Homo-oligomer: A and B are copies of this chain.
């Protein structure tokens, strides 16, 4: 079972170009596969498998909040049950509800973003987020004309995926390399990014988001994170992104001796640099996030262990 689970989760762990919502959908499939395992007959065996799956998924993508929430909701739903069928039913209900809410949420978010896109102007979009893509294409389909700029998002280049999906959806797209963001940003009227996690100090997203937000403030351009409230996590969980260091060889495979190659995927953008977080509930500010945090309950299997990091967050 653990070997099988490892294989099931590996593609999620290796995925550097999908947004957090997409990855949550794939985590639902992993739970469904585990649940259909014929060897798990007793309530105890099923709950143990679900527990291992939850821990394994969260470790695979520690920065991605929806994976944590999905896992947390599954474990919380079944913890007091002792009948195998009820456990399976409850789990399936959590999975179905989560998927439905992700889809409904995306539609509501798209409606909320619409008002933030100035007609006839250029907007900037960073990294890759299916929520951002659906919001921008929804606005285009509703008849708003605008152009989008995006940059490549080294090292995994998920910004190219964003450019192609926006262009295929009928938007005119300008694409350039990441360090040229400042050059094109001065022509933009709004900036959008996704979010992998949201908590007390701010939003965690792809590396580069912080510098982009600082540049936006310098140029007086509003910058929004676009994300469902399923991205809101406890503060200690948010900093799990610091575990997510990738091999340096993915950035450069042949440096001289004496060159250490750093490959971090995520960073924190404090609320002070953001114009707001566009969710299915509307545009949230820091106080709204605090309110959500007050209502969160975390299953003990998913509580965060203490850790250290050489590059502390700002």
Chain A residues with a Cβ under 8 A of chain B: 151-155, 160, 163-164, 167-168, 170-184, 186-187, 206-208, 210-211, 214-215, 218-219, 251-252, 255-264, 267, 311, 314
Q: Are B163 and A256 in contact (CB under 8 A)?
A: yes
Residues of B within 8 A of A186 (CB): 311, 314
Interface of A is mostly: mixed
Q: Are B262 and A173 in contact (CB under 8 A)?
A: no
- How often does this chain occur in the complex, in copies? 2
CB closest chain-B residue, reference A154: B177
Residues of B within 8 A of A215 (CB): 211, 214
Residues of B within 8 A of A260 (CB): 172-175
Residues of B within 8 A of A207 (CB): 177, 179-180, 182-183
Q: Are B259 and A311 in contact (CB under 8 A)?
A: no
Most buried by B among A174, A207, A251, A259: A259
CB closest chain-B residue, reference A310: B187
A sample of 17 cross-chain residue pairs with beta-carbon separation below 8 angstroms, ordered by A number, consists of A153-B179, A154-B154, A154-B178, A154-B179, A163-B255, A163-B256, A163-B259, A167-B255, A168-B256, A173-B260, A174-B261, A175-B255, A177-B263, A180-B262, A180-B267, A182-B208, A183-B267
